[in-house]
Every structure is written in C-alpha cells, then in structure tokens.
Structure 1
Amino acid sequence: MVDLTRRSLMATSVAAALGASVSGVASAEEVAETDTPGAPSVKGELKRFSTTAFGAEVTGPFVFDDGSFLYSLQHPEGENPEPFGRAAVGYFSGFQFSFDGSNDDFTEVGIPDTEAKQRQIRSESGDYEILFQGREPIRGGEARLGVTQTPDGTDITQDTFAGTQYGGAATNPDCNQFVPTNDEGTEGYLFTNWENSPGCISRVFISQDGEGEWSADLDDAMNLTNTSSFRDIGGTRINCYGDLSPWETMISSEENYAHTRVSLTNTVGDIVENGSGEGLVGGCQFWNRPNPTEISGAIDTYADDGDVDTNWSPQGYWALTGVEFLAYHLGAEPSDQSGEDNLATTPIDDVYPNPYRYGYHVDIRQPAAETPDPIKYWVMGRSAWESPDIQGDRKTVYSCADGDSKGIYKFVADEPIDSYDDTDDIAGTLYAPKITNDAANASEAGQRNSPAQTPLEIEWIELGHATNGEVESWIAEYDDVTQVDYLETHAETSWQNDPAAALKEADLEVIENGNQNYITNEEIVRWAEQYEANGPDGVDEELRRVPFLETRAAAKEIGASIEFNKAEGVDSVDDSQPGDLVYFGISEFNDDLANDEGDIQMDRVDGGVVYRAELEPNYNVSTLEPVITGPDFTDGPEDADDALRNIDNVYTMRDGRVICCEDGFGGPARSYPNDGLYVFQPNVMLDVDSMAVGYGQTGEVELTASALPTGFSGGELTVSVTNPDVATITGVEFPENLGLTESSASTDGSSVTIRVADTDRAIQSGGRKIPLATLTVRGVDTGTTDLQVEVESLDNEDGNAIDTEARSGVLVTGPPTVTGGSAPTDPDGDGFYEDLNGNGRLDYEDIEILFDNFDADSVTMNKSAYDFNENGRLDFDDIVDLYGEVN
C-alpha cells in the first residue's frame, strides 16, 4: 500500500524522528489511497515565497510590525553548504510584507530543480540572513544557545551523558515570537523554542538598524529553561510551536507525544473490558520504566518468549527519549541507562520528572525581566500541543495536538486570562470536539466524502471545569514517583537481586493492568461512567483531575472525535473579533480520518487540509471549512510540485493572508525533496447575515466583504430572497465612507441590485468584515427563506476582477406571538434571541413561546439564534437554560 511506502520514507528521513506520532503501529482498517476529488485545490491564491534547505522543515514564521520576516532553519542536513548545514534562525534581508491583502508584494520562487538549489534557503524576495545558530556561545561562553544544562551548568548532550535524547541538542529551532522593548518595534527580545527533551526556550536581544537590517546580541542571550524558575515547574520538554499572547508574551507549547495513554482508536474502557492492555496500551504507561524507550524491544522479546501474544509498539513510546536527560536537568544523579537486555542497571531514585507536568502551554510572563516568570496553563489540558490560539476576548483558546489520533480542543476562561492577579486562580472549562456530520454519510452505500468538499460540523463537549491551582495541586501528588517505584510497585522480585527478572515482571504487569504509580485505568473508566450519568459537574471530587491530566484518554472515553492526524497549526488575526477567521492546519488527512471507524470516514489525502472557521458572537466555532487541500500521494509532480503539502505552522497576518509552512518529510509525489513556505491569499468573501424578523415586522441585515485587498475600486452585486412569500427586501442604506452608491429593487421585493465605488480609497485591506450595505427586510409570512448574493462584478484599482466567494444567509420570519407579532430580539447582544415576544426584555412568556413553537421552521431553521446551551444543536435543554436565565 502507498501508506506503507509513506511510513518507510518517514522512518528514514531526518524529520521522522521528530514529527511522526506512531512508530511501528499500523492503523486499523485504513482505506487504500484513491484519487480524491479536489486534491489538490485552493480557495484563493497560494504562492510560494521560499523553499528551505535539504532535510529541514519550515517552522517558526514571524512577521514584524514593519513587515520584516523571519523563520527557523530546523534540523537541516549537515552536508548542506554553510550556513545551511546547521540549525539557525534567520530573516529575509531587503524584504517587507506590505499588508495590502495581496500577494503582489513578492515574487514567487521556482521549484528547486538542482541539487545546489535544494541545499540552500531560497527566495526571490530578499536574502536569508542568519541571526543566530544553535549551540553558539552565549553570555560570554558560559552556555550554548539552545542547549539545556544540569543545575551545576553541565551541558546535557550525548557527548556528556550516556542515554537517549529527543533530537540533537539545539538542532530543532521552532517557534519564534518577538516582544518589542521600544515603541518603534525596532528592538526587543526574540523568544525561540528548541524542540528537544529536555526542552529549551531561548531569549535573544535583537535590533534593527536604519537600513532595516536585523542583528542579534548573543552576549545578552539566555536559555530561560536553565533558570531555577523553570526547574520549579519541572522544566519543559519538546517545545514546538506557540503563539504571541494578546498581552504580548511568548506562549510556548509542549509537544509531549509520550502522553498517549492508549494507542490509536482504542480506549481505556477497551483495556478494562479485555482484562489486559496487550496491543492497546500507549507509551505514557512506561514513563518511569528504567530505560523507557526500550519497551518496544522488550515487547518483541516477550512475544518471542510467549509471554504476550503479538509484537506491537505502544503509541508514543519513542518520544520517551530524553526523559532521563530531563531528570538530570532537574538535578538527578546520572544513572547507568545502557544495560543489556533493555535494562537500566541503576534505576533513577532521587529526582525524576512527573509525567503530568509536561504537555502544556507555557506563558513567559514578565518577558523583559532579568529572569522572566514562566507559568504553565495546567487547566487547558495535557496533550502533544503544537500550538494555541488565544482569541480577542482573551478567554477563548483553541489548541491543536500533533500526532496520530489526536484532538482539537477548546478552553474558555471564566474571565480574561490576563486579568487574574494570581495565575493559580485562572478558572475555566475544557472542551473536546464531536464531529456530527460525516460518519452517517460515509456509511450510506459506501460513499465517502472528499475532505476538499466537506466542511466539518463541530459540537463541543464539556470535559470539566477547574482552576489552574487546583490542577497543579493534583499534579503535585505524583511528584515523588521514580523509576524504582515502577519496579517495586509492579514486581514482587527484588530488582536489587535480579534486575532483569524484576523489569520483565513489572513490564508484563503494567501491560496487563496499567501503571499503578499514576492515574489508574479504573479511575478513568469510573470518571466516564459518572460523567455519562451525572454530567461533568457530577463526578466525585477525586475524579475531577481525570480530564485535565489524562485529556486525550478522557475525551476518547466519552466519545469525542479524537481522530485528527497531526493537527499542526491554528491561528487567527491578532485581537480577533466575531466574524474573523481561525485557520486550522491538519498535516495529513489519513489514518483515523480515513478508515472505517469513528465520526470521520472520508477519502484520504496524505498531503493534508487547511480549514477555516468563522468566530461566532461568543467566539465559538462550529464549522471547519476546507480552503486548502494538499495532493494525494498518488498524484504526479505536475499536480504536487506547486501544491501545499503537509501543513505545519500557520500564521495569520494582519491583512488576512495566511503564511503556511510545510513539514513534508521528503515524501513522494513531488519532483523535489524540499519543504516550502507559501502565502495564502483568500478569495474575497461576500456574506449576507442571517437573522430573525417578526411576522409583519422589519429588520436589518448587513452585506459584508472579507479579505478585500487594498485597491478595491467597486462592484455590482445582487441580493435576493429565494421565497418572497416569506420576506421581501424593502430598502438599502450604504456606509458613509463609500464614495458612490446606487441601488435598484425588483418590483416584487425579491431582490435588490447595488453598485458601489470606493472613490475615496476608504476601504483598506484586512481579513475582517467590511460593510458594503445594510438591507431592510420585512417579514411577510411565517417561514424561512435564504438570502443569496450574486456577484456581477468586483474590481480592483487596475480594473481586474477580484476572485470572490458568495455566502448565503438565512432569514426566519416569526414565530408569531401573542403580543401581535413583534420580531424576536437579542437584548444582551450575545447573538441569541432570548426575547421571543419582541418586548425588549426576557420574561416568562418568552419561554412559553419557545416551548410552543419548538418544532416550527422559524425555530428549527435558525438554531444559532436559540441554541442557548451552546452545544451546536436545538434540544429541550435550551428551554431549560432560557428558564434559568429568567430565574
């Protein structure tokens, strides 16, 4: 199968050791590769800005306020010519993005069709200049950039310690975020993630001269993770991507692949039901095993000896590399971890990392202080985080987890996150996704949807509510567990007398019944049973920790759609608002997304998909719409050479364009092996709002345009109602900033044609919605009708047509009320129509009206107006919630 070829190529690539989530585990019943409709495709323009050097991923993009641009050269092939053979961070000298919403500000670079081109970073718009490279001396030579140390200042590398390390020290620079220290934004601190274990976050002072060139001061640089404040929270591991918070601090995300409790589609309930975790258990159960990464080889030996039935590799076990080095970083005495027969002859018994302290978003508070203050957002859940995206309300956070069979999660704080004086008091609710629209379609007559053509509808399932301090207190209960505990808890044989026998006995016990040093299988199943019976607030106090410390396992146990494969990016414009777009990057659309199980059963696209979602009034997202689909790996170079393949980081610029970085493993399809950086210019989106209007009453809906580039000159559009017996258009008003405007309505009120010209160049570029007109509509009879937009023309300042996408709205008339048919209103401006009788306030009569009309089209066709419990559907709990607001 193509997939096996894919995995083989991954296993031999430099990127595989860092990017793959499963090694040696075949996915269940995966459907063979087909020619998927719409793969590759893009709704807009995709233009290649750069290709990176051979062996490297494109990671860590950052755009400065003046349009200057940098990214990381992550783990390049060492045989590349200097300076491209060593990990680095560099910027593009002589180039600045213009933020005009158009890709015309740079020249596309061609494909690297010679070996010389493949071994360098290339662009037609600026030269890549190195700011700094990994392992450079910093602070006068007392440390090396990106290299973690023991408390006594010894570099932690395989040159100084025996054992495994997750990637070579300081070879994997990833996320970059700049925090300015002056008003002009020409100097400040660049924070960089180094994706290793032990993890590292560096801070380097950089400045820009009068010619626009940037330079770094390495004497002022520091590895933040070598400070006592980081060791106090357990240090970090596998710091991948991240974000710049709305309060201008670096958010570093820990991509802890080794958090997986169960492999792939399995659940903890499966283990309990089967009476054994054989073939089901995940890598995290062996966290405190002596020589933990050797568990896969040990299982092979046990299978050969007949102690287990089959050979298998626990998902995420390979990411246990570097756990012993992390212990040394925290102060443990070095221990012999190189014994024969998969045995560490001297288990670590003094200081050992707590697994529940890794897999979080880390906020670098007081970023310009002599020693910044790191906090981990324990309450946002534990996973293999690639990145977070904090919305403009400063409360809502969307996060993506990298690896196979993972999730996209949401966290909503009770108050703005930066408003808490004590970060322990940060309180909020953690959610997991439930995809509601695909599995039924996939099961009908064996038909599979194409991910290029199928939006994903999401219902968010509440996992639990807690404070940051509460979750940390639960975590602290496991701080003193060591490798010796693994042996003494799970084996009756004395490890001092017979270490080989004790280790085998312990391994087989953990495989069968789970690791008793941490949260047990039985606790997770008991939490899920109480959750199903009583809801998230009805579980025993001691079980509240489960969804925060075992997030993936808990979500799977209650049926969430933990099926995404390598969710590697999420971003929106800074200070996002309702109506703005959030972009989600799924690097590969295969495995659990394309097998015969679960909520998503589509055609596979190994090249991945980029989705966008519109922020609703409460900052929720409920629909993921595909906008970029990568190539099938059955496609030839003529299709794949210029397509986006295996999206990694996504970065939304302030003009609405999206930087898309590749992490393609050098796989098949293309004629060249390099990853590239593309810029996505979305089509202009023309939207007409949905609304509810009272029977016989009038209301107003906006016609808006998103992603208009600078240079918009004007256009002609027609808005129509599909059923004029339900509603008619009775008037049009225009914004004052549009220079010339005109409208003409049909005689029956079914449509209106508008013409606008931006003679004063008042409309600037941006991803946000720009009003073009406000339409007055009148409810003629109870019912539902679509509001449709047809584009006659939309031109730029050169007279060329602008590519557009038109979106329909829904207009609901009614329901008629006992007060004479007044339109429902939204008295508190939250996007929900609590005032069903239209008297301007919420009262008991509104509840009666909703109850009496619950099955009417005027309600069922406008679920977003009446979904008061915000679960993505209409149900009787909406009536109960509305009743609760009255009382």
Structure 2
Amino acid sequence: MKRTSIALAVAVALSAGIAQAGTLRFSEVPVPSDDASKREVTASPSVRIDGRTHRIGYNTLLRSGDQVGNSALAWGTLVDVDGVPLHDDAGAPVISVYPDHSSLITGDDGRLYSITQFEDSIGAIYLTGLRQGRDGRLLPTRTRPLDLSGVNGTWTHCAGMVTPWGTHLGAEEYEPNAADPDILSNRYFSPVAAYFGEDPANIDADTTRLNPYNYGFPVEVKVGDYEHVDVAKHYAMGRAAIELAYVMPDRRTAYISDDGTDVGLYRFVADQPADLSAGYLYAARWRQSDDAGAGDGVIEWINLGHASDTDIRPFIDARGSFDDIFERDQPGCTSIRTATGQECLTVRDGMEQIASRLETRRFAAMRGATTEWRKMEGITYNPDKHTMYMSMSEIGKGMLDKNDGGNNDIRLQENPCGAVYALELDGNFAATRMHGLIEGRPVAGDPSNSCDLAAIANPDNLTFIPGYDTLIIGEDTGSGHQNDAVWAYDLSKSSLTRIETTPYGSETTSVYFYPNVGGHAYMMSVVQHPYGESDQDKLIQGSGDDRAYVGYIGPFPAMDVQSREHEHRGRDEHHRHDEHHEHQGRRRR
C-alpha cells in the first residue's frame, strides 16, 4: 500500500465533482433509553449506498491499557522524556483514558498504521501497526509511544487530520498562559514537570526545563516505518488553544481553530506546498450582517506577518519570556480582551514576529481581529461545494452583544447547545462569508438532556463524505445529551440521522472519513473518557468500563471518486449485457 493511497483518498477534494451526487442513508440508532443501552457504544448496523445495502457497525481497535502483541508497553501508557513510564501515587503506570484524534496513515514502507494522540497535560502520541483483512477488518499488531523529546514533549492534544501529502497533523490545545507569574505552580501546567523527571511540587524556576512557550502548536508526524518516525512542531503557524489545524486541498492553506472563550480564527498560507514550516499568518475579523440564529457575517483577514519555524524556535530555547515580548499598562498601550481577560499591551520594538507566533491571539486582537468566539471546534471541507464547515460548541459569553472591552464584533443570542457554520471560500481558499448551517435546540425539563434529543448538542469534530452531500457531526456535551452522539447531516434534505451513541460521560472524538484505504472506506471514531464528564456514579468499580475506545464505523465499500466511477461503469456494462441478451432472446423467439 503506497503512502499516496490514503493521501489521495483524503485529498479527493481535488477531484471535486462527480456529475451526480450519490445516495447515502444510514440506519438510525435510537436514543439510549435504559441503563444497559446507556453503557454501550452503538453504531448504525447498516448503510445504503447508491441503492445497495451494506452491513457496518462500530469496530473497536484498541482500549486504554490494551496489550498489543509483544509490545513493551500497554497502549496509552504515558512516558517521560526518556521513554520511561510515568507512575501514579500508588506506583501503577499512568494509562490515559483521553485518546483524541486517531489517524490512518500509510508509511513510506507501504504499511498501514494508526497515529493516536492523547489529550493529557503530558501529551503522548502512539504509533500502532495495523493489518487489514480481505473483508476490510483492521487488527492492531504492535504499538509504541513516539519519542517526543526533540520538541520538548507535547501537551493536551486535541483534534487532527491527515494532510493531503499523507502525514498526521495534530494540535496542542489550551496553551499555558505565559503572562501568569505563577504559571509554574498552575495545577494544570505544573504536572508536566514530571515529563522532565522533575517534582511538580518542587519546581526550581532557575533550573526547570518547563517552559510555557513549548506548547500550543500544530504537531506533524511523518511515518517512514515502524522504527522511523519524524515529529515536528510548526511554530510558524502560531500558538493558541489549537483545536485543529486543517489543511486545504491546495496543500498550502490551513485553518486553525482556537478553543475557549474570547478566542480567534486563523488562516496560515505556507510558502511552499506540503511544507508547513514557513508562511504568512492571518486572523479573521467578523463583520456581522445578521443576528438571527447562529448569525451571518463577512470575514475579513488581517495579516499578522511572515515567519518560519527556525525564526521562532531559538526564542523558545533561550527561555524568552512574556515580558521580553510585551510591555504592560504603559502609556499608549492597546486595550484588548481575549481568553486571558482584559489587558493593555505594547509590543516591544523588534518583537512583532515573535508576538505573532507565540502570543497569536493577543497580537491578533491588538491588530483588530475578532477574539470573541466561544468554544471553536472542528473543521472540515466540502469539495463538491467548495465550502468549509466549522463547529461552535456553544454560542455564549464573548459572542453575545455586550461591551466588555473587546470589539463587540459578534452580537448574537445565546445558544448553549451550539451550532455548525458554513464558510464560503474564494479561489484562494480564503473564507469570505460565515453563516449558521445547523443549530442545537435548548429544551427545559430534563437536566440530563438540556438540548433537544432530535437535534445536535455541543458539536465538536466534523468530517465530510465527498460525493454524498453528507456532513458528519460529533458531539462533546455534558448535560446537553446524557449520551453523546454522532450524526449524519444530509445537506440536500437538511435532515439529521443519529449514527452512533456512546456510554455515560463520554465524548465523541476523531470522527474522520477515509473514502478508500486498501479498497475499503472507514469512519474513525474515538470514545473518550467514559463516565468522565457525567454520571460518574454509574461506573462499576473495577469493571474497566471507563477505558476509552479507539475504533471505526464500517467497513464500507470504497467510496472515493475513482471507485464510484468504476462501480457505475460496471453496473452500466452489466445492464448493457443484460439488454443484449434480452434482445438476442427476442430475435430467436
């Protein structure tokens, strides 16, 4: 299997346009109604594609703590800078229940792998070898954590994608606040000291290797073979609470979503195709034209300048500080409101480039960009309509009409159930307009289901099925829906079908569609932290039910453009063959 097989499947956007869209209908999964069903992962048992029914379902590849073959460590074991397992206070290895994006990747050796990143403060990325059966079933054969020491470890991985050139592109969410004088004792950040073999309770500020500017970047992983993997952080793309960096089919443009409260939207344009190490960074400004529903607005782009990875990394390695970049509360300072609150800052002379990449949100706000978004999440692209989709898990806080020191660009009504937006793109993949596509619906009366069960709740990861006009929406909701779901949204009919539900307290992550991997299509789907966000009292102690799942819905038949055209030609030839024999039979009669 060549590396290009998955890359071409993911970049099927370049083939945009079969003349007639295919038909796709999933069998619906019911709302879990009893205790047993609320403990299960349930997915559509069948799907009808272009008039033919196929059996599918949820297939588990791995669960937290699984031993895979003769691998040295259980899958999900967190390790330190030397690859030694971390241990909890009881002396047991720390095994994560927070896998997030899990990619299917073809290595340079032609073999199939999974790259899974974990949403822990001490981040981990696991490489897992996969074997594909003739029926399309995938089986893990071996697994190992990647060596992340070359990038000083990673942090709180969230969503990801497979780039058009076949690499895994992940991200680091909720960047540590470098302006906080007590950041080294922050209860979320200080545990990272254990990665470097330091005691989180006794961090020496003069000698520690802990540095907030190490974290908050896109992370790219290129697989040569099982033993040879390259990991790079792309400092040129900026630093934020990065949910996802999503590369467009032009192989240069990447959209970067910023997760949190009072955050921004960014667009990176690389100097060279398939090389994210240098380029220009832009921040969006929303010019609202309609406040109905999730709103409608024109998007303008503010240029934050050019940088390369090598321009930025030396400042980090030299342990440059926030106060090396900015002055605070000096005459002539610029007042901004971002995720870190109200501030008045001045960029020090000569530090604009560093500010743009290490304090991207603050710098963007100083340049006039909109930093009012709330819980900006997943991104995907529809090649058939040249449209991008982006989820907003909630509409609230900075997105409401209030003057609290920011621009007050966004002035919408609150919707705690969130929305998915459509973004219109120009010929250079720059978004020009953004408007609400589908929204959740708040309801009263059930504290465990505060959003309508027939609608989305707190949308998170997105993926699109090219050629079938279908957008897949995964949820990350606490009380919106007691059991988080994955939905198929038929754009032509504006109709939703529930295609997966997950156990109590789970989050759906990593929904991502692969049109053709070795002759089969797959929809990856991860179930993170069962019994974690809610209903902790439902967990049966010692059952292991709180272990996360990495798996896929499928397998489907190949659904890329080439496979569909081949299938249609085959049907046409079969039809002509039948007509010929029928005609010959009539002649003989």
Considering the TM-score relative to the shorter chain, is it more than 0.5? yes
Aligned to 2:198: 333
> If each structure's helix is expressed as a fraction of its own residues, which one has the higher value?
1
| Residue 555 (structure 2) aligns with | none
Q: How far is 1:156 from its partner?
A: 1.8
Corresponding residue of 2:39: 119
Deviations 1:663-683 (Å, cap 9, x if unpaired)? Answer: 01133xx5xx10000012212
Match of 1:429? 280
Question: In the TM superposition, what are the counterparts of 1:562-601 in structure 2 within 5 Å?
Answer: 562-573=371-382, 580-597=386-403, 598-601=408-411
1:545 is matched with 354
Q: How far did 1:585 drift? A: 0.6
Deviation at 1:455, TM superposition (A): 1.6
Q: 1:158 to 1:328 in 2, by over 3 A?
A: same
Task: Output the CA distance in 2 between the equivalents of 1:524 and 1:101.
Answer: 61
Q: Does 1:192 align with 2:116?
A: yes
- Name the structure 1 match of 2:463: 651
1:351–1:260 CA distance, 2 compared to 1 (3 A): closer
2:168 to 238, 247, 250: 250
Taking only the aligned residue pairs, the percentage that are identical comes to 26
Partner of 2:363: 554
Work out the CA distance in 1 between the residues paired with 2:222 and 2:333.
34
Look up the match of 2:106. 180
State whether residues 160 and 169 of structure 2, in contact with CA within 8 Å, keep that contact through their aligned partners in structure 1: yes
Retained in 2: the 8 A contact 1:103–1:679?
A: no
Give the TM-score taking structure 1 as reference length: 0.47
Name the residue aligned to 2:489.
Answer: 680
Structure 1 regions of 5+ residues with no counterpart?
Answer: 1-62, 68-98, 262-283, 294-320, 338-343, 442-448, 482-514, 530-537, 686-763, 767-887
For the structure 1 residues 553 and 665, does the alpha-carbon distance in structure 2 shift closer, same or farther, using more than 3 Å as the test?
same
Mind listing any 5+ residue stretches in structure 2 that lack a counterpart? 1-5, 11-19, 46-55, 336-346, 495-558, 562-589
Q: CA deviation at 1:235?
A: 0.9
Distance 1:545 1:146 in 2: 35
* Aligned equivalents of 1:629, 1:351: Cα separation in 2: 46
Distance 2:130 2:7 in 1: 12
Letter in 2 for 1:174: D
Distance 1:583 1:524 in 2: 41
- SS at the partner of 1:241? coil
Residue 468 of structure 1 and its aligned partner are, at CA, apart by: 1.8
Contact 2:7 2:162 in 1 (8 A): no
Q: CA, structure 1 residues 638+103, in 2 after alignment: closer, same or farther (shift >3 Å)?
A: farther
Equivalent runs, 1:355-370 vs 2, <5 Å = 355-368=212-225, 370=227
The residue number in structure 2 matching 1:384 is 241
Q: Which residue of 2 aligns with 1:464?
A: 305
Offset of residue 132 of structure 1: 1.2
**Partner of residue 422 from structure 2, selected from 607, 612, 615:** 612
Q: Is the 8 A contact 2:71 2:144 kept in 1?
A: no
d(CA) in 2 for partners of 1:659, 1:201: 25
Q: Show CA shifts across 1:114-139 (max 9, x none).
A: 11111101123234332111223457
Q: 1:367 to 1:590 in 2, by over 3 A?
A: farther
Whether contact under 8 Å (1:362, 1:374) holds in the other structure is: yes
Kept in 1: contact 2:213–2:316 (CA 8 A): yes
| Deviation readout 1:147-199 (Å, 9 max, x if unpaired) | 2222454322433689xx9xx7411111011112599x9x5001111110110
Q: Using a 3 Å threshold, how does the CA distance of structure 1 residues 477 and 556 change in structure 2: closer, same or farther?
A: same
1:842 counterpart residue number: none
Residue 140 (structure 1) shift: 3.4
Does 1:146 find its partner at 2:76?
yes
**What whole-Å deviation, never above 9, does each CA across 1:675-713 have from its counterpart, x for those lacking one?**
00001221289xxxxxxxxxxxxxxxxxxxxxxxxxxxx
**Relative contact order: is structure 1 or structure 2 higher (C-alpha 8 Å, sep ≥ 6)?**
2
How high is the TM-score relative to the length of structure 2?
Answer: 0.70
2:462–2:472 Cα contact (<8 Å) kept: yes
One-letter amino acid of the counterpart of residue 122, structure 1:
T
Assess, with a 3 A threshold, how the Cα gap between structure 1 residues 194 and 137 changes in structure 2: closer, same or farther: same
Quick check: 1:332–1:351 contact (8 Å CA) kept in 2? no
Deviation, 1:604, is 1.1
1:395 aligns with 2:252: yes
Structure 1 partner of 2:570: none
Judging changes above 3 Å, is the alpha-carbon distance between structure 1 residues 132 and 100 closer, same or farther for their aligned structure 2 residues?
farther
* Structure 1 Cα separation of the partners of residues 359 and 330 of structure 2: 8
Q: CA deviation at 1:402?
A: 1.0
The aligned counterpart of 2:547 is none
Contact in 2 for aligned 1:589/1:608 (Cα 8 Å): yes
1:451 lines up with 2:293 in the alignment: yes
- 1:108 corresponds to which of 1, 22, 28: 28
2:143 aligned residue (218, 221, 240): 221
Distance 1:181 1:465 in 2: 31
Distance in 1 of aligned mates of 2:331 and 2:400 = 27
User: Hey, what's the Cα distance between the residues in 2 that align with 1:328 and 1:654?
Assistant: 44
Distance 1:554 1:209, change over 3 A: same
Deviation at 1:144, TM superposition (A): 2.6
Partner SS state of residue 158, structure 2: strand
Is 1:632 matched with 2:442? Answer: yes
Equivalent residue number for residue 475 of structure 1? 316
* Runs of 4+ that moved beyond 4 A: 63-67, 523-529, 633-639
CA–CA distance in structure 2, aligned partners of residues 198 and 352 of structure 1: 14
2:153 to 235, 245, 248: 235
Change (3 A) 1:177 1:208: same
Supply the distance in 2 between the matched residues of 1:252 and 1:107 (Cα, whole angstroms). 31
- Counterpart of 2:342? none
CA-to-aligned-CA distance 1:383-440 (integer Å, 9 cap, x gap): 111111111221111111111111111111222243xxxx7xx3321111111125xx
Helix, strand or coil for the counterpart of 1:232?
helix
Larger radius of gyration: 1
Task: State the secondary structure of the residue aligned to 1:251.
Answer: strand
What is the Cα deviation at residue 523 of structure 1? 9.9
Tell me, yes or no, if the aligned pair for 1:527 and 1:546 is still in contact at 8 Å: no
Q: What is the distance in 2 between the residues matched to 1:584 and 1:368?
A: 33
Name the amino acid aligned to 2:260.
G
> Which residue of 2 is the match for residue 792 of structure 1?
none
Cα distance in 2 for partners of 1:210, 1:287 equals 52
Q: CA, structure 1 residues 591+644, in 2 after alignment: closer, same or farther (shift >3 Å)?
A: same
**Contact (CA 8 Å) 1:327, 1:352: kept in 2 or not?**
yes
In structure 2, the residue corresponding to 1:326 is in which secondary structure? helix
Following the alignment from structure 2 to structure 1, what is the Cα–Cα distance between the partners of residues 353 and 331?
13
- 8 Å Cα contact 2:392/2:418 also seen in 1: yes
- TM-fit CA distance, 1:369: 5.4
Distance 1:414 1:180 in 2: 26
1:66 to partner: Cα distance: 9.5
- Decide whether aligned partners of structure 1 residues 116 and 193 sit closer, same or farther in structure 2, where only a CA change above 3 A counts: same
Residues 65/388 of structure 1: CA separation in 2 closer, same or farther (3 Å cut): same
Does the 8 Å CA contact 1:112/1:118 hold for their aligned counterparts?
yes
The 1:64/1:642 distance shift into structure 2, 3 A limit, reads farther
Question: 1:520 Cα deviation (Å)?
Answer: 3.7
Aligned residue pairs total 455
* Deviation at residue 469 of structure 1 after TM alignment: 0.9
In structure 1, distance between residues paired with 2:390 and 2:286: 15
Residues 257, 403 of structure 1: 8 Å contact kept: no
Is the 1:436–1:458 contact (alpha carbons within 8 Å) kept by the matching residues of 2?
yes
Amino acid at match of 2:475: E
- Structure-2 separation of matches of 1:638 and 1:552: 32
Structure 2 CA distance for partners of 1:528 and 1:155, relative to 1, 3 Å? same
Conservation of the 8 A alpha-carbon contact between 2:260 and 2:374? yes
Cα 1:146–1:433 change in 2 (3 A) is same
- State the one-letter code of the partner of 1:543: E
Distance 2:331 2:443 in 1: 39
For 2:333 and 2:222, the matched residues in 1 are separated by 34
